[in-house]
Amino acid sequence: MRLRSLLFAPGDSPRKVAKALEGPADGVVLDLEDAVAPEAKEGARAAIAGMLPELAGRPVVVRVNARGTPWYLPDLAAVVRGAPAAIMLPKCAGPADIAALDHHLEALEVAAGQPPGRTAVLALVTETAASLHGLDYRGASPRLRALCFGAEDLSSDIGVTPRDAAGGYAAPVRQARAAMLLAAAAAGLPALDTPHPDPRDAEGLAREAAEAARDGFAGKLCIHPAQIAPVNAAFTPDAGRQRWARAVVEAFAANPGQGVLSLEGRMVEGLHLRLAQRILQSVEGPERTP
């Protein structure tokens, strides 16, 4: 599953869900959490559970409610049997939340006759100040496929405005963003950037997505279909970058055991191979990259 662009669609809006599924997003996040009011959660849960069997094999993610809420376990029990590609866990406070979700998913997968471990996990890991003390996700679970940055919830939790007039983050939000990028790199996981909050601000979105790609994010969460094309463009390496990456991967494949090679007159080593593989993963997905 490619992760350049993940588009949220509220689980209680069939029209918005249908529109999201028709678009070019790499994945669609059917939302049971923030986009759904408490009194509508049961209906949204039933609606998503009913549609999942028809979406088998598609890159569909379900954002369940946070662990510790009364909706978390009912959400999992309802949707896992429909075999979504992944579960998105909001308000993740640290590896203990991932471990608990891993156990819950394993039990539900077995009960549904699915192979244990088939459901991936994407975790929103910066939505509370407390979560910043638990950012070490090394070895947390093979299910964990990406760490996601959430600026709006974090800003609310610490009582600051997330962005200034120029679009820059408040100091603690910048610190959390950098810490999460380093945590993702340490865990060998892609990092996904927070949504741009204004779907009408095309210029701001393009600037923010380009900065995120430069800083090491692999993709960006989206809240409107109009955001998908510019986000996909920002996180797709240009043709020259792709050619270089493919040449590096092929050179190392042709010279097994070699730590340093000469490619087009320049020395390349392990760090270049890792970068090349990451570039190709952003284009082809991890399943197809050597």
120-124 and 86-89 as β-strands: parallel, antiparallel, unpaired? parallel
Binding residues: 153
Residue 27 forms beta bridges with which residues?
A: 6
Tell me, letter by letter, the H, E, C secondary structure of 28-94: EEEECCCCCCHHHHHHHHHHHHHHHHHHCCCCEEEECCCCCCCCHHHHHHHHHHHCCCEEEECCCCC
Binding residues for Mg(2+): 153
What is the spatial distance between Cα 225 and Cα 227, in angstroms, rounded to a whole number?
5
Cα dihedral 111, 145, 179, 201 sign: negative
What is the spatial distance between Cα 137 and Cα 126, in angstroms, rounded to a whole number?
13
Tokens at 58, concatenated: 């598609």
Query: With b meaning 16 or more CB within 10 Å and e meaning fewer, what string describes 209-220?
Result: beebbeeebbbb
CB atoms within 10 A of CB 286: 15
Is residue 227 within 8 A of residue 205, CB to CB? The reply is yes
Is residue 92 within 8 A of residue 124, CB to CB? The reply is yes
Residue written as token pair 């408490």 = 38
User: At 195, is the secondary structure helix, strand, or coil?
Assistant: coil
Residue type, 286: P
- What's the first-to-final CA gap in the chain, in angstroms? 15
User: At 162, is the secondary structure helix, strand, or coil?
Assistant: coil
